[in-house]
A and B are shown apart, each in its own frame.
Chain A
């Protein structure tokens, strides 16, 4: 069973469109994240979310919004897509508390490659 799964794997869309990427984790983790990996392969956190709070990286445009229907899902919605949004987007999850993410890090999905044309 895949621990963190993302769909779709590839997404090609035109500028100005609105799109969503779905993420599900079956690890029972408390917190989920979205990362953006640019062409230089730098991993940049966009959001972290658990049932208590949403932490947004202040550099993320408000066209990006996370939506969490339940603890196991964190979807990423992107409005009015721009060329610069082209990147690979990774979902991740982690366990809070003692013996959690500070010891074992985050578990990542396999990524969604978004291409805006």
Chain B
């Protein structure tokens, strides 16, 4: 199936700093989803993007659907300690035999230093 490449794999930032992470694919996606997984919990949907060029915000989070439809970016402004977690990009992709499934990137692990 299609693969999503996320970068960076991990990052350590100071509280109050802005954060940027991205996700790329070798093929086109029609939807980009960003999830956050906190320690000991399952992934939770943060933002969904549906159109090329779309920019969507959710509080201090802003995500963009790349013009080429092969990438997406997630920015977090003025980070706080509770932003700690793993951020996953995801999108529906063809998995063969007429089926589609949600494909996940390998995640960006964010650590915030108070």
Contacts and interface: CB of A to CB of B under 8 A. Distances in A.
Bind each other? yes
Interface of A: 4, 40-43, 45, 48, 55, 90, 92, 94, 101-111
Interface in B81-104: 86, 88, 90, 92, 95, 97, 99-102, 104
A105 B48 contact: yes
A49 B73 CA distance: 31
A interface majority secondary structure? mixed
Interface of B: 30-31, 33, 35, 37, 40-45, 48, 50, 86, 88, 90, 92, 95, 97, 99-102, 104, 106-107, 109
B102 A105 contact: yes
B interface majority secondary structure? strand
Contacts of A42: 104, 106-107
7 contacts: A43-B104, A43-B107, A45-B101, A48-B101, A102-B100, A107-B45, A110-B42
A67 to B, nearest CB: 20
Given A101-B92, A105-B90, A106-B102, A111 B48 contact: no
Nearest to B34: A105
A55 B86 CA distance: 27
Contacts of A104: 45, 48
B27 to A, nearest CB: 15
Contacts of B35: 105
A41 B106 contact: yes
Given A42-B107, A108-B44, A55 B99 contact: yes
Given A41-B107, A41-B109, A42-B107, A101 B102 contact: yes
Nearest to A31: B101
Nearest to A42: B106
Nearest to A94: B102
Given A103-B31, A103-B50, 4 more contacts: A40-B106, A41-B86, A45-B102, A111-B42
A106 B42 CA distance: 11
B43 A108 contact: yes
